[in-house]
Copies of this chain bind each other. A is one copy, B any other.
Amino acid sequence: MAYFRIEYYSNALHRSTSFEMLIPNDYRLDLPMQNASPIPKKPMGTLFLLHGYTGKAGNWVPEELAAKYNFAIVMPTAENSFYMNGAATGSAYQSMVGEELVDYVRRTCGLARSAADTGIAGMSMGGFGAVHLALAYPEVFGKAAGLSSAFVTRGIAGMKPGADNGMANYEYYRACFGDLDKVLESEGNPEWQVKQLKAAGKKLPDLYLCCGTEDFLIEPNRAMHRFLEEEGVPHEYHEGPGIHDMVFWTEYIQKIVRWMFE
């Protein structure tokens, strides 16, 4: 499993940034099983794996499944951006991941260009990001999975200057999501994104949501599940024992990868 750390100039961020990538293409000739078909016949798929709030490109990585199913894992660094395009110059994190980085890794490393071969998953803020980005770019991401997703939009709608919800303050959410009085009818609301796609008659990405029953984010995840059911959007939804931690995510990322690439 080759490990890449790449620094490049991001036009979306107006600065250099870096990301990490794992590519299962350094075949060990001394391990016969891996050597069976060293050069896959078709382009390699890609999983974009998104970190959470306060997190970074990380190590909750399903390495063994990547080798088994022949896909690369791209781990962007998106600070605490919620993977949104902020209004300020150089805050286009949505474009950075969903357009720029997708294009960059495909043209640099010859990864598969079809949505069927491109998945996106994340946990907490990254779960929001995975769902949000797949709804923003359904032609890019064929499958999206949110683990313990931070579906915060309803909670911050109408937030006022000076307010703070314990996790972050008004200025922070405004920088990420724009006008908080209009956020429910904006790209910052995955429900709104779903309705827009449906109205336009576009194909939605396949969705997989999961959350631990003891997770403090269980209710927003149940609400999203109900919304998707009401809208008639087919999707996977799973609850299981667990809190908002790596134990739950490590277990479910295995299930999700199989769902995506098997």
Contact = CB atoms under 8 A, between A and B. Distances in A.
A37 interface: no
Interface in A78-103: 79-80, 86-91
Interface in A177-224: none
A104 interface: yes
B169 A89 contact: yes
Contacts of A1: 9
A242 interface: no
Interface stretch (A22-30, A128-136, A138-146, A228-236): A22-30
Interface in A13-45: 13-16, 23, 25-30, 39
Nearest to A1: B9
Contacts of A39: 107
Contact of A108 (B3, B56, B107, B109): B109
Contact of A2 (B8, B29, B167): B8
Contacts of A86: 171
A235 to B, nearest CB: 30
B3 A54 contact: no
A169 B86 CA distance: 12
Closest 6 CB pairs of A and B: A89-B168, A8-B26, A89-B172, A2-B8, A88-B171, A88-B172
A175 interface: yes
Interface residues of A, number: 49
Contact of A54 (B14, B167, B175): B14
A239 to B, nearest CB: 26
A255 interface: no
B25 A89 contact: no
Contacts of A54: 9, 14-16
B56 A174 contact: no
Contact of A23 (B14, B28, B108): B108
30 contacts: A2-B7, A2-B8, A2-B9, A2-B108, A5-B5, A8-B26, A9-B54, A11-B28, A11-B30, A13-B79, A13-B80, A15-B56, A15-B79, A15-B80, A23-B108, A25-B104, A25-B107, A25-B108, A79-B90, A87-B169, A87-B171, A88-B169, A88-B174, A88-B175, A89-B167, A89-B168, A89-B169, A89-B171, A90-B168, A171-B175
